[in-house]
Amino acid sequence: MTPTKSIDGQDLREMFAAAASWLEKSSADIDALNVFPVPDGDTGTNMLLTMRSTVEESQLAADHSVSSVAKAMSKGALVGARGNSGVILSQIFSGLSQAVDGKDAITGKELADALAKASTVAYAGLSNPVEGTILTVIREASEAAQAHAATVSDDIVSIVEATVNAAKESVAKTPTLLPVLMEAGVVDAGGQGLYTILEGVLHYLKGEMEQLKLRRPWMVASSIPLTAKAPQMVGAEEVPYGYCTNFVIKGEGLNPDKLRKRLEKRGQSVIVVGDDSAVRVHIHTLDPGDVVSYVVPLGTLHQINIRNMDEQYRDFIEMQKERMPAVEVAIVAVVVGEGLANVFTSLGATFIVPGGQTMNPSTKDLLQAVEAVVSEKVIILPNNKNIVLTANQVQSLTKKTIEVVPTTTIPQGVAALLAFDYEADMETNAQNMNKAKAAVKSVEVTRAVRSTSLGGLDIKKKQAIGFLNGDLVAVGDKPDAVVQDVLARLNLDEVEVITIYYGDDTTSAEAEEVGDALDKQHSQLQVEVVQGGQPYYNYIVSVE
Amino acid sequence: MTVKIVTDSLGDIPSDVAQELGITIIPLTVHFGEEVYRDGVDLTTEQFYQKLLKSKALPTTQIASLGVFVQTYDKLAEESDEILVIANSQKMSASHEAMVEAVGKMKRPCRVEVIDSQWTVMAQGLIVIAAAKAAKKGAGIDELAALTEKNISRADVRMAFETLNYLEEGGRIGKARAFLGSRLKVTPILGIREGETFPFSREHSRARAIDHLYYFATSFSHIDEMAVEHATTPKEADALAKRLKSQFPKTHIYRTMVSPVIGAHVGPRVLGVAVLGDRG
């Protein structure tokens, strides 16, 4: 391929026109990424409308120089911007336009520098820039563009390729920077939108017209896997979000910085951008009337758009349901220890009630959990023999339909959870889970709280004691040795999987040693060592 | 005149079977950076997985260009005036879209029916094979279209996955996203519902996952066609096929490998069973 050394205004116009149609194909998917209470209802749609206005205005440029086209695009973006991400996008175009002012055409290096300027201007538009959003994506993408232009190649296609790759990586890690994204297991919608736009530009520069037409942009996968499940999100308390309020003020001697400060007292997610003759405002407020009355004396208002975010939230919840398998049945599990709770959540438990051997939850605790989940049908996994009866009480206190799968250990609970079938009804699931729990053996090792003699064993206080399926079978000074002692009572040659959950007073090195020893003795075994973080129990081991 | 049967390479039909039954397969393409390979034509599954191990970036995949579809149709139209095209699930690839669009660009007059199989891998493949067999026996296009529509509801597939990363990276995770993020090492068993990837089960060991595939197949009371396919584990596939053969001695079991394009989305060590038949 011949290197592309420069682009003119016509190229600029067409590459962003291509980007707009590329974005159009995934705007609905991007809408689906929104996470409340992160502001902005329909990010994909908002960015698309912003892009359309940008592209339309680019046709009205005075000439075909990069400078004029970029200026027109910047103007189009400002007046057409919608929503949070749209406004930030308009800042990106404003930065691009400032950087290429006066130029007929630009080189790859100049394009990279213009992206860097775009990043700076985008950050400047916000009083409180948040990382893990479109801002991070434009910054990291522009840094990659500059690095590539400086050290690798001045070919514009290869620079944009590097930019797109960096944008994709940046989007994938947005959940590590923004906790709400992590909880929802999604990437930032605005970041995804920007990545899609840059990818559209790249397709155009590569001359891939057929791809633009027949393929669809792919959604970047979150680098952090999803743990929270949709039904839980639906159950979240309803907080009023108020109104997403957008408008443009046209006038003379406007002061965007001063206006931003004043508006910050009147709402959240305030973005104010523009110059002394036109300013775009985006604000989330419980009282849009108050905001509008405040700005009316400053000039004339245009493109006023006020949307009810509570309504958007309900639509959003409906949309989220589509993305997951329809789960009519929720699972409430009693678990103690952060690691174990994560294991249960990651395998699909809807609600975790903290509790275990020394901390039995009350019927009321379980009832609250049952009432908190959205589903009308709930399976309870008590995971301890002292909690099974409590769990059985819940049915008489709720209108919901309850099935208790009487798991008495953590390994039984995990086995039951794994047997959950998304296609089956509650009864079938309860049957399958009962069957699965019966197939697993549980080993637990803890410290004796007092000296005693039990089951023919003399036990001194603080000695390690080992249980097999709830029966005391071994005693010793070291928990590691006791685990091995108990396991030695089983025919491990017929076992396929051993999972070792180590407690909060056991180190991972100690646990790994136990695991390695098993691995060496029995080659057919799949041994997994997992941090359970449970108190009191040094080891909980599942044998299947 | 025999109705011509066309499909895309996502159905994983072995080339000798395609040749014998007169099935035209339009290959998708796999891209490793600048290198482009036609699915199953320029690159075998074994070669693909060798390249995958060496490649830093994940390969990407594309459907053939529109021109290829149009040319294929026009060429077949010289021999027949009816073509039945059975596409990969349109929720998973743009193949169906291109197959429909290409009909309007044909130069030769010919009746072309395009059907969305709503399946992929050998579940799609078995539907195509059944249509090709009926076409060979002289069925007309309307009859074939009706048969295919009926078979779409009779097909099913389960696949045991080593990892879901490839599916997720490639944007084909569908509802199986519910299985992402497991803190335990499990073998997910996925299938397809309404044209998208669907999570069925998680097994705690590979052996149990293979049992799951076996019981999936034996849950059918009547089986027309069956296939066992794998990516990188031929011995496991052979063993599973042998077990199934003893249960279904009269059924021919197609032994296939996932195509390179499918491989780019499922990753290594995938093992699956596809069935065209009836339950209960």
**A225 to B205: CB separation less than 8 angstroms, yes or no:** no
**B180 to A214: CB separation less than 8 angstroms, yes or no:** no
Q: Which of B65, B181, B207 sits opposite A226 (nearest CB)?
A: B181
Distance (Å) from the C-alpha of residue A496 to the closest C-alpha of chain B?
A: 7
Q: Which of A325, A415, A544 sits opposite B178 (nearest CB)?
A: A325
Q: Chain A within 8 Å of B104 (Cβ-Cβ)?
A: no
Q: Chain B within 8 Å of A183 (Cβ-Cβ)?
A: no
Q: Which of residues 5-64 of B touch A (CB under 8 A)?
A: 62-63
Q: How confident is the model at residue A37 (pLDDT cuts 50, 70, 90)?
A: very low
Q: List the domains of chain B with CATH numbers.
A: 4-29+63-152 (3.40.50.10170), 155-279 (3.30.1180.10)
Residue A201, CA distances (Å) to A31, B68, B159 in order? 21, 26, 37
| CA distance linking residue A444 with residue A337, whole number of Å | 15
Q: Chain A within 8 Å of B255 (Cβ-Cβ)?
A: no
**A221 to B169: CB separation less than 8 angstroms, yes or no:** yes
**Cβ-based contacts of A214 with chain B (< 8 Å):** 63, 66, 94, 97-98, 101
H or E, element range at A275: none
Identify the three-state secondary structure at position A501: strand
What are the pLDDT digits (tens) for B32-52? Answer: 888 899 998 999 999 999 999
Q: Chain B within 8 Å of A157 (Cβ-Cβ)?
A: no
Task: Return phi, psi of residue A514, to 5°.
Answer: -60, -45
Q: Chain A within 8 Å of B186 (Cβ-Cβ)?
A: yes
| Cβ contact A291:A266 at 8 Å | yes
**A496 to B204: CB separation less than 8 angstroms, yes or no:** yes
Q: Chain B within 8 Å of A126 (Cβ-Cβ)?
A: no
pLDDT of residue A39: 44
Residues A106-127, mean pLDDT to the nearest whole number:
93
| Cβ contact A347:B183 at 8 Å | yes
Mutate to test the interface with B, among A215, A220, A441, A498 (most CBs of B within 10 A): A215
Q: Look at strands B82-87 and B4-8 and give their pairing.
A: parallel
User: Does residue B198 have a pLDDT over 90?
Assistant: yes
Domain boundaries, given as residue ranges, for chain A: 6-224, 243-315, 325-438, 442-543
Q: Which of B63, B98, B177 sits opposite A226 (nearest CB)?
A: B177
**Cβ-based contacts of A530 with chain B (< 8 Å):** 183-184
Closest residue in B to A499 (Cα–Cα): B184
**Cβ-based contacts of B206 with chain A (< 8 Å):** 526
CA neighbor of B192 nearest in space, from B253, B127, B133, B255: B127
Q: Which of B175, B185, B201 sits opposite A421 (nearest CB)?
A: B201
pLDDT of residue A236: 39
Tell me whether 0.90 is exceeded by the ipTM: no
DSSP A78-110: HHH--HHHHHHHHHHHHHHHHHTTT-SEEEHHH
Residues A199-210, mean pLDDT to the nearest whole number:
90
Q: How confident is the model at residue B195 (pLDDT cuts 50, 70, 90)?
A: very high
Q: Chain B within 8 Å of A499 (Cβ-Cβ)?
A: yes
Mutate to test the interface with A, among B175, B177, B192 (most CBs of A within 10 A): B177
Residues 6+ positions from A70 with CB-CB distance below 8 Å:
A9, A12, A93, A96, A97, A100, A101
Q: Chain A within 8 Å of B98 (Cβ-Cβ)?
A: yes
CA A194 to chain centre: 17
Residues A411-417, mean pLDDT to the nearest whole number:
97
Closest residue in B to A226 (Cα–Cα): B181
**Cβ-based contacts of B59 with chain A (< 8 Å):** none
pLDDT of residue A319: 63
pLDDT of residue A223: 56
> Which fold would CATH assign to domain A6-224?
1.25.40
Distance (Å) from the C-alpha of residue B139 to the closest C-alpha of chain A?
A: 33
User: Does residue A133 have a pLDDT over 70?
Assistant: yes
**B184 to A218: CB separation less than 8 angstroms, yes or no:** no
> Which fold would CATH assign to domain A243-315?
Alpha-Beta Plaits (3.30.70)
Q: Which of B63, B175, B205 sits opposite A214 (nearest CB)?
A: B63
**B97 to A229: CB separation less than 8 angstroms, yes or no:** no
**A218 to B171: CB separation less than 8 angstroms, yes or no:** yes
| CA distance linking residue A128 with residue A140, whole number of Å | 18
Q: A325-438 architecture in CATH?
A: 3-Layer(aba) Sandwich (3.40)
Q: Chain B within 8 Å of A428 (Cβ-Cβ)?
A: no
Structure tokens at A288: 């849009």
**B204 to A544: CB separation less than 8 angstroms, yes or no:** yes
What are the pLDDT digits (tens) for A275-334? Answer: 888 888 988 888 999 999 999 999 999 888 888 877 776 776 666 566 666 678 999 999
- Can you state the angle between helices A108-124 and A134-151, rounded to 10 degrees? 150
Closest residue in A to B187 (Cα–Cα): A418
pLDDT of residue A33: 78
> Which fold would CATH assign to domain A442-543?
Hypothetical Protein Tm841; Chain: A;domain 3 (3.30.1180)
Mutate to test the interface with A, among B184, B198, B202, B205 (most CBs of A within 10 A): B184
**Cβ-based contacts of A327 with chain B (< 8 Å):** 178
**Cβ-based contacts of A218 with chain B (< 8 Å):** 170-171
Residues A154-165, mean pLDDT to the nearest whole number:
95
The β-bridge partners of A308 are A243
**B178 to A347: CB separation less than 8 angstroms, yes or no:** no
Q: How confident is the model at residue A41 (pLDDT cuts 50, 70, 90)?
A: low
User: Does residue A182 have a pLDDT over 80?
Assistant: no
Q: Which of A215, A221, A530 sits opposite B183 (nearest CB)?
A: A530
| Cβ contact B73:B45 at 8 Å | no
What are the pLDDT digits (tens) for A335-390? Answer: 999 999 999 988 989 889 999 887 889 999 999 999 888 889 999 999 999 999 99
